[in-house]
């Protein structure tokens, strides 16, 4: 009886609810979650940091500014998108930038691809020196390169005839290095056994290059061409030194910033971003839909 009474009293005095989990356990779980997702969080923050200016450009292309400057939001408007050539000088500058970009991209891609194959597939005297020289235009500050090109044209006596042709030559010169580096990286990553298998099946060197090597290198060539075009279309410093009286789109934007950048300039920037995004996204979607 005494034992039953003691146990009954103990059960009556014991707490009915469990104590709440200590705060340290919650903080520990939160710390573990952060540690396991730190890479994803940093990646998202980096993407937000990189794309924030692009979002601002797209947003203010739909703005109806008050006065000359398109720096503060006023109201939503589609005027700039319905009439992007409201300023004919801007459209002329865009056409010139597109023309120079296309020509310089084609020439730089062809020359850079040939150089990349020579450096990636052949051993010759001066190969190491050529590799170093290829990086010089990439490492040289644009101000130095632009002033050097201007000095070259002045010494040649053609400084009074600077224009689209001088800009194109300058853009080809610095774009070649980027093409060589991009295509060469693709060539270095090729599996040589694929070409050997083609030759084992009695394919000659030309057929192997056309059927095996070139299709495998083509994505790198396309990537190099897109990079060369974006560098050419976007360049301001070297273009300013070699433009003469010509006005490309970056020069127009810089000049217009003194009197007010029109919303149409944001439309051009938004359109270029949409096109570039589509070029990257569409092949990726097609690749994922392709059956394995």
**Given this model, what pLDDT does residue 8 score?**
55
Mean pLDDT of the chain: 86
Q: Which tokens belong to 154?
A: 């002045």
Residue 6: the pLDDT is: 52
Q: What Cα–Cα distance (Å) separates residue 181 from each residue in 139, 190, 240? A: 13, 15, 26
Asked if residue 22 has pLDDT above 90, the reply is: no
CA distance 217 to 192: 12
In angstroms, rounded to a whole number, what is the distance separating the alpha carbons of residues 119 and 23?
A: 62
Residue of 115, 219, 134 whose CA lies nearest to 174? 134
Nearest to 109 by CA among 277, 221, 251, 231: 221
- Helix H or strand E encompassing 263: helix 263-289
Least-confidence region, from 48-57, 120-129, 231-240: 120-129
Summarised one tens digit per residue, pLDDT across range 158-200 is 877 888 999 999 999 999 999 999 999 999 888 888 888 888 8
Q: What is the 3-state secondary structure (H, E, C) of 177-231?
A: HHHHHHHHHHHHCCCHHHHHHHHHCCCCHHHHHHHHHHHHHHHHHHHHHHHHHHH
pLDDT in tens, 56-100: 999 999 988 887 788 888 889 888 898 888 888 899 999 999 999
Backbone dihedral angles phi then psi of residue 258, each to the nearest 5 degrees: -75, -30
How far is residue 134's CA from residue 179's CA, in Å, rounded to a whole number? 10
pLDDT at res. 262: 85
Neighbours of 38 (CB within 10 A): 10
The answer to whether residues 204 and 257 touch, using CB atoms and an 8 Å cutoff, is no
243-to-173, 174, 236, 257, 258 alpha-carbon distances in Å: 15, 16, 10, 19, 19
Q: Tokens standing for 235?
A: 């360049």
What are the structural domains of the chain? 87-261 (1.10.3720.10)
**Considering the chain, what percentage of its residues have pLDDT values greater than 70?**
91
What 3-state class would DSSP assign to 284?
Answer: helix
What phi and psi, each to the nearest 5 degrees, are found at residue 259? Answer: -115, 0
């Amino acid at each position: 009886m005494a034992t039953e009474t003691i146990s009954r009293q103990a059960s009556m005095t014991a707490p009915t609810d469990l104590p709440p989990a200590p705060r340290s356990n919650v903080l520990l779980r939160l710390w573990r979650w952060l540690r396991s997702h730190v890479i994803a969080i940093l990646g998202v923050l980096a993407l937000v940091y990189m794309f924030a200016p692009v979002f601002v450009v797209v947003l203010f292309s739909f703005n109806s500014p008050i006065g000359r400057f398109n720096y503060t939001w006023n109201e939503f408007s589609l005027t700039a998108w319905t009439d992007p050539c409201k300023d004919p000088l801007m459209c002329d500058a865009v056409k010139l930038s597109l023309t120079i970009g296309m020509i310089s991209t084609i020439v730089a891609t062809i020359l850079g691809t040939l150089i990349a194959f020579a450096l990636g597939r052949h051993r010759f005297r001066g190969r190491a020196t050529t590799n170093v020289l290829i990086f010089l235009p990439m490492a040289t500050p644009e101000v130095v390169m632009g002033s050097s090109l201007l000095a070259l044209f002045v010494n040649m006596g053609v400084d009074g005839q600077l224009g689209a042709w001088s800009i194109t030559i300058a853009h080809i010169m610095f774009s070649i290095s980027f093409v060589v580096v991009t295509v060469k990286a693709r060539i270095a990553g090729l599996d040589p056994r694929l070409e050997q298998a083609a030759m084992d099946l009695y394919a000659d060197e030309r057929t192997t290059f056309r059927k095996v090597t070139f299709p495998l290198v083509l994505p790198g060539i396309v990537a190099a061409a897109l990079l060369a075009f974006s560098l050419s279309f976007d360049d301001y410093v070297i273009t300013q030194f070699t433009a003469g009286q010509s006005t490309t789109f970056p020069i127009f934007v810089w000049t217009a910033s003194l009197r007010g950048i029109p919303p149409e300039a944001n439309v051009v920037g938004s359109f270029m971003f949409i096109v570039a995004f589509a070029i990257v996204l569409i092949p990726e979607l097609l690749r994922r839909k392709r059956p394995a």
